[in-house]
Structure 1
Amino acid sequence: MIDAQKTDASRLPPAPLTVAGIPFLVEESIGYQMRRIVCIVASEIERRMEPLGLTDAQWKPLLRLYLNHENTVAGLARLCQLDAGGMTRLLDRLEAKGLCSRTRSLEDRRVVHIELTPEGHAAAAQIPDILGNVQQVCAQGFQPAEYHQLQDFLKRIHGNLQTLGAAADTATPRPS
């Protein structure tokens, strides 16, 4: 009789996963919801960048250059989460459009500096307003305190996820 009960119990579906005491549903998960939002926001930003002749990939390094966050190929690649080859190809297209120029460092020939051209500066100067206008749409209906709370929640989620990468780095043995 006990063996029959074990067999019957093993056929039952596993207990539903809960997160913070709430049943986990894929369509309502944080990752799923954030991905949906990111896709819509990216699509809208790209639509608004079209008159500037910029793609989703192209406006990001232009903005970084405009805000003086970085001015080397390697640094821009890191900030834009691209490999050096991908950034070089992207800069080839931006340079062909007359939006930036590259010069090799005199001190270290491995380093390539990037500068906005006047046309690139004019295009990049419009990007913060475009991003701000999309942000305003996202924030409609939120009170300032709610919006700040949302920002805090997103920072906490980001911080929680940062620990995953750190934990994986320490758990993975380094090749010797």
Structure 2
Amino acid sequence: MIIDDSQRGTGFLLTESARLLRKLIDRRLQPLGLTRAQWSILAILSRQEGLSQSQISVRLEIEKSTAGRLIDQVEKSGWIERRPIAGDRRVWGVHLTERARQLLAQVETVIIRSRTEMLQGLSEERQGQLCGLLQDIKSNLAVALELDRSEAHQAHATDDTTP
């Protein structure tokens, strides 16, 4: 076995912590009729309305088709609406509805409470250190992912030119 209980290190702890936070937030958002994935769209739009489906997919780091299905769900729930973007009949901007604006305050309370509980007992200094470390880890992983993409692209290009 590659990983057993005695080898559960940083990666395991990061994964499990993120899983538990997602589970906690999902459980707390459920009475509001909202999932974490749906909330992520509302959160993005609360900072900048009128984004296109493509722009939302980039910000969520998901495929356009996945973002489209998620946007469809949130729109059916009455929290967002699509509006035409002037000058481009093919692209629609996504906007919050008044119903969503009222919901945002309740959701913000859930998120802040969950984050506070997650960081309970950590001084501001340790929280800052943790954020810095996690940002470094995220950057390292982004570089590794990009390197893998580049290597895969080069391997594919080599396969295409091999007789």
Residue 26 in 1 paired to residue 7 in 2?
yes
User: Which has the larger helix fraction?
Assistant: 2
Residue 81 in 1 paired to residue 61 in 2?
yes
Residues 81, 128 of structure 1: alpha-carbon distance in 2 compared, 3 angstrom cutoff: same
Q: CA deviation at 1:150?
A: 1.0
Residue 37 in 1 paired to residue 17 in 2?
yes
Residues 121, 114 of structure 1: alpha-carbon distance in 2 compared, 3 angstrom cutoff: same
| 1:64–1:70 contact (8 Å) kept in structure 2 | no
Cα distance in structure 1, aligned partners of 2:106 and 2:48? 15
Q: CA deviation at 1:111?
A: 1.5
Cα distance in structure 2, aligned partners of 1:57 and 1:102? 18
Q: TM-score, normalised by structure 2?
A: 0.83
Q: CA deviation at 1:126?
A: 2.8
Residue 98 in 1 paired to residue 109 in 2?
no
Q: Tell me which of the two structures has the higher relative contact order, counting C-alpha pairs closer than 8 angstroms and 6 or more residues apart.
A: 2
- Overall identity of the aligned pairs, in %: 24
Q: CA deviation at 1:170?
A: 3.4
Return structure 1 stretches of 4+ with deviation > 3 angstroms.
none
RMSD over equivalenced CA pairs, Å = 1.9
Q: TM-score, normalised by structure 1?
A: 0.77
Q: CA deviation at 1:119?
A: 0.1
Cα distance in structure 1, aligned partners of 2:17 and 2:52? 31
Q: Which runs of 5+ in 1 are unaligned?
A: 1-24
Q: Which has the larger radius of gyration?
A: 1
| 1:66–1:125 contact (8 Å) kept in structure 2 | no
| 1:105–1:111 contact (8 Å) kept in structure 2 | yes
Match of 2:90 among 93, 107, 110: 110
Q: CA deviation at 1:81?
A: 2.5
SS at match of 1:63: helix
